[in-house]
Amino acid sequence: MQNFSFYSPTFFEFGKDSETKAGELVKRFGGSKVLIHYGGGSVVRSGLLYRVKKSLEKEGIDYVELGGVKPNPRSGLVYEGIDLCKKENVDFVLAVGGGSTIDSSKAIAAGVVYNGDFWDFYMGKRIEEALPVGTILTIAAAGSEGSPDSVITKEEGMFKRGATGDAIRPKFSILNPALTQTLPPYQTAAGITDIMAHLHERYLTNTKEVEVTDRLIEALLLTMVHEGPRVIEDPNNYEARANIMWAGMMAHNNCVGVGRSQDWNSHDIEHELSALYDCAHGAGLAVTMPAVFKYVYKHDVMRFAKLAVRVWGCQMDFDNPESTALAGIACLENYLRSIGMPLSFKELGAKEEDIPKLVESLCYGNGRDGNIYGFVTLNKDDCEKIYKLMVR
């Protein structure tokens, strides 16, 4: 195991009606003038935004609002949010929505206190300072409610890139699984896929002897395998949603990723798809993950075979471990198909003729050096071959 530091100070309020604590929590974490940031309207239609405002008013907390965050959030609204916060002397950013809203809130929070262009952080500068952020989560997916990360798309060039820093870890996150019951099934499934991707990208490591985190990741994957179909069959299954919601947080606050190298090639390759086609990130991952895994599994056949046996219940073939590894990848594909996810370029709405553009942006866009680095270092040719595996 590698040496590591782990700092995850987010306060979690989990369960039914927990959003009624929003005002109390903002006050506890020092907010007196709040930016309420939200997406395209689901929180207005569900009445959540109204309840949150009431909770702030009850505590005498002043607020301004900025809605309109799009899935795959854009830099334009971040600049707008930064200006608004400066003009209104906002001292706390409250995200009400999914990963996109949370990421946009984190970008605003970092940008307000930074004397430069917030995009510097998405070019690799670490975020050291930010306004405090709180979240009220409405979809189990990105894990941004417990992560130090934010992913934004820059409209000029449509570069989708991530920034990181403990300063943007939420001070608190409110997780009420019942709030996710209004999700369309496709978004629920995309969220499940994203959570499973976060687990796979940590499982694919080159670090030896990491049994504790291997076992934790396997447990979370087994939970997703069990709960995913239950929630697709019955969207009102609170208990299944509760298990998925907490698994989603644990999958990405890095408690199961410490002390080991991680992958993230599938995420990098997917981000080009959601940047170009504006597809759901999880749906893009359903197409990307199996292609990447089929391309790289020979790098460590036994790691894939172990996953196949422990998570998917495949029989280990010691004479031919490659067949076990491939059987596990096939199980993942079947699972993704069963919850309604796409598996090919065609099903996602992506086009084969765009592959050169995707590869160019992935390998050279926004300052990249021609490779992407993870479980396996992939160059331009590798990435082209991986995108081609998705055309079927």
Binding site for ligand NZQ (CB under 6 A): 39-43, 71-72, 97-101, 103, 138-139, 141-144, 147, 149-151, 179-180, 182-183, 187, 191, 194, 252, 267, 281-282
282/290 with CB nearer ligand NZQ: 282
Task: Indicate the pairing of strand 33-38 with strand 92-97.
Answer: parallel
- How many angstroms separate the Cα of 24 from the Cα of each of 52, 80, 315? 11, 27, 52
Least separation, in Å, of the C-beta of 9 and ligand NZQ?
Answer: 16
The residues, ordered by sequence, that sit 6+ positions from 83 with a Cβ below 8 Å of its Cβ are: none
Q: Which does 99 bind (CB under 5 to 8 A by kind): Zn ion, ligand NZQ, none?
A: ligand NZQ
Which residue is it, tokens 């449509």? 158
Structure tokens that stand for 304 in this block: 């894939």
What burial class does residue 319 get, using C-beta atoms within 10 Å of its C-beta: 0-12 exposed, 13-18 middle, 19+ buried? Answer: exposed
Least separation, in Å, of the C-beta of 50 and Zn ion?
Answer: 30
Q: Which does 75 bind (CB under 5 to 8 A by kind): Zn ion, ligand NZQ, none?
A: none
Q: Which does 101 bind (CB under 5 to 8 A by kind): Zn ion, ligand NZQ, none?
A: ligand NZQ
Q: Which does 365 bind (CB under 5 to 8 A by kind): Zn ion, ligand NZQ, none?
A: none
- How many angstroms separate the Cα of 160 from the Cα of each of 71, 167, 176, 280, 317? 12, 21, 29, 13, 41
Using rule CB under 5 A, residue 263 touches Zn ion: no
260/281 with CB nearer ligand NZQ: 281
202/306 with CB nearer Zn ion: 202
283/60 Cα distance (integer angstroms): 41
Three-class secondary structure of residue 184 per DSSP:
coil
194/272 with CB nearer Zn ion: 194
Kindly indicate which of the ranges 24-32, 124-132, 170-178, 190-198 contains the residues binding Zn ion, using the contact rule CB under 5 A. 190-198
Least separation, in Å, of the C-beta of 208 and Zn ion?
Answer: 26
SS (H, E, C) 201-213: HHHCCCCCCCHHH
Residue 126: name the closest of 69, 80, 99, 165 by CA.
165
Least separation, in Å, of the C-beta of 195 and ligand NZQ?
Answer: 9
The H helix count followed by the E strand count for the chain is: 15, 8
Which of 194, 218, 268, 382 touches Zn ion (CB under 5 A)? 194
194/268 with CB nearer Zn ion: 194
194/214 with CB nearer Zn ion: 194
298/132 Cα distance (integer angstroms): 44
Binding site for Zn ion (CB under 5 A): 194
